[in-house]
Structure 1
Amino acid sequence: MSAELLSSRPTGSDSTLVLTLSNPGARNALHPDMYAAGIEALESVERDPSIRAIVITGADNFFCAGGNLNRLLENRAKDPSVQAESIDLLGEWISALRLSSKPVIAAVDGAAAGAGFSLALACDLIVAAEEARFVMSYARVGLTPDGGGSWFLSQALPRQLATEVLIEGKPIGALRLHELGVVNRLAKTGSVLDAAVAWADELGKISPNSVARIKGLVAAAGSQPLADHLVAERDSFVASLHHRDGLEGISAFLEKRAPLYR
């Protein structure tokens, strides 16, 4: 069976899209076909106002084993441009996740290894099983990170700890990452997807305009001076106030009712 990215709308959920990594027999190892499908799915989501949040998970209670080492060995016999093009396509998917106007939640059961870990880190939020393991195992097989793994870890952890995780390539548990603030929520094994979808449904009730603008502000915060960020916050606030979501949110609060964003 081939590697693919499955798309579905959970039963009972009106606003959440679930993208499932599926590569039977290979612990959902990644493949360029998944990257292309992921990019296409995110482009479709941006055009669909009925989808307010996205959950990325893995089939068969396992998130993702990262790259397929057998495929990587085959690529050694090809021109280096073949592997470079594959990594560039992965990068496009990672960038699309970061630029999405909708919140993206990783639902991690089992383990997230290598680029699978990078993929989880690229999501806005992470829900993980208490027993889940995360590992950047590149150096263990003589390789270096891709998919933004070294960038995300360097942003999320102190330099010394990020270096340890990347160079040693030893698994780090979900409990530890939860303590460090990398994993947002923990769930029992087997209930991670349900917990992630329930959270996504909650987020779907929040102003889509506010969500998109806050994601943009958070993304920019690490790369601009405070003075510039204050201007960006001002412009975003004023635009939000004059957006239809601002009217609905304020009106609902004053009328003591739940807002209904369209």
Structure 2
Amino acid sequence: MSAELKASRRDSTLILTLSNPGALNALHPDMYAAAVETLTTAERDTSIRAVILTGADNFFCAGGNLNRLLENRSKDPGVQVATLDGLASWVNALRDCPKPVIAAVDGAAAGAGFSLALACDFIVAGSSAKFIMSYGRIGLTPDGGGSWFLTRSLPRQLATELLMEGKPILGARLNELGIVNRVVPDGTALDAALAWAEELARLSPNAVERIKTLIREAQTNPLEQQLEAEKDSFIACQRHADGKEGITAFLEKRKPQYK
């Protein structure tokens, strides 16, 4: 069987499953285009309230296929450029998706698999799940935004250790460091992510999308610009139907019903 990205639905949640039997769900360029197309479609589907990225057979992802990388050495460099551009498009699609995206990690997330998990809004990990930036150990450097995400989430010295040494770090430790949101018993990461997605589905889709945008913009905006962005977003939400429903429900002491 070949590598593929499987898409399925559970109520209002879209589940994207990395599948590459016999290769620990190693990535393949075919997955990249499929992921971008699926996420783009999900953006327009109002019945989808959350997205989960997980791996088949209780293992998240081993990263890139090293045999394919060796083969690419004999090909035109443009082949590898196209592959990395495809991965970057997937990472951007995860970041830009207006729906909350949860990574459900059991087993391990290595290399670009770790980068994809970092690109998600939330990470749920099994208690013994490992996260590995193993590039330096095989003479390579990170891709998929791994260096960008970690240097914005951790002190420089710790980010350097993870990126340069490439030693595994447990999800429990990343939870302590604020990167992994929740640690659950092994084999239950997907179920926990689905339960969380159901909670998120009850929030205002408009507010969720705007909050995600504000978080992304805050990475680069100076304070004054961010204050302006918050003001514009607040007023837009206040005038949106979700804002009316949320405020009214709170005053009436009932649960809001967002459409």
TM over 0.5: yes
For 1:54 and 1:222, the matched residues in 2 are separated by: 22
Match in the other structure for 1:194: 191
For 1:74 and 1:61, the matched residues in 2 are separated by: 29
Are 1:113 and 2:110 counterparts?
yes
For 2:172 and 2:250, the matched residues in 1 are separated by: 37
Match in the other structure for 1:243: 240
In percent, how many aligned pairs have the same letter? 68
Superposition pairs of residues 50-61 of structure 1, within 5 angstroms = 50-61=47-58
Shift, 1:78, TM fit? 0.2
> Unmatched 5+ residue regions in structure 2?
none
TM-score (norm 2): 0.99
Shift, 1:224, TM fit? 1.1
For 2:105 and 2:172, the matched residues in 1 are separated by: 12
Q: SS of the counterpart of 2:206?
A: helix
TM-score (norm 1): 0.98
For 1:90 and 1:235, the matched residues in 2 are separated by: 33
For 1:220 and 1:159, the matched residues in 2 are separated by: 22
4+ runs deviating over 6 angstroms: none
Q: SS of the counterpart of 2:41?
A: helix
Superposition pairs of residues 42-191 of structure 1, within 5 angstroms = 42-191=39-188
Q: SS of the counterpart of 1:252?
A: helix
For 1:220 and 1:93, the matched residues in 2 are separated by: 19
Shift, 1:190, TM fit? 1.1
Q: SS of the counterpart of 1:57?
A: strand
Shift, 1:38, TM fit? 0.3
For 1:143 and 1:228, the matched residues in 2 are separated by: 37
1:12-46 deviation line (CA, Å, top 9, x unaligned): xx211100000000000000111111001101101
Match in the other structure for 2:224: 227
For 1:47 and 1:219, the matched residues in 2 are separated by: 20
Amino acid at match of 1:7: A
Match in the other structure for 2:202: 205
For 1:234 and 1:47, the matched residues in 2 are separated by: 26
Match in the other structure for 1:3: 3
Match of 1:38 among 28, 31, 35: 35
Q: SS of the counterpart of 2:35?
A: helix
Could you say what the CA RMSD is over the residues aligned between the two structures, in angstroms? 0.6
Shift, 1:222, TM fit? 2.0
Are 1:254 and 2:251 counterparts?
yes
1:114-154 deviation line (CA, Å, top 9, x unaligned): 00000000000000001000000001000000000000001
For 2:3 and 2:219, the matched residues in 1 are separated by: 35
Q: Which range moves more in the overlay, 249-258 or 22-31?
A: 249-258
For 1:96 and 1:233, the matched residues in 2 are separated by: 23
> Unmatched 5+ residue regions in structure 1?
none
Shift, 1:245, TM fit? 0.3
Amino acid at match of 1:45: A
For 2:23 and 2:44, the matched residues in 1 are separated by: 33
Amino acid at match of 2:124: V
Amino acid at match of 2:39: L
For 1:25 and 1:68, the matched residues in 2 are separated by: 12
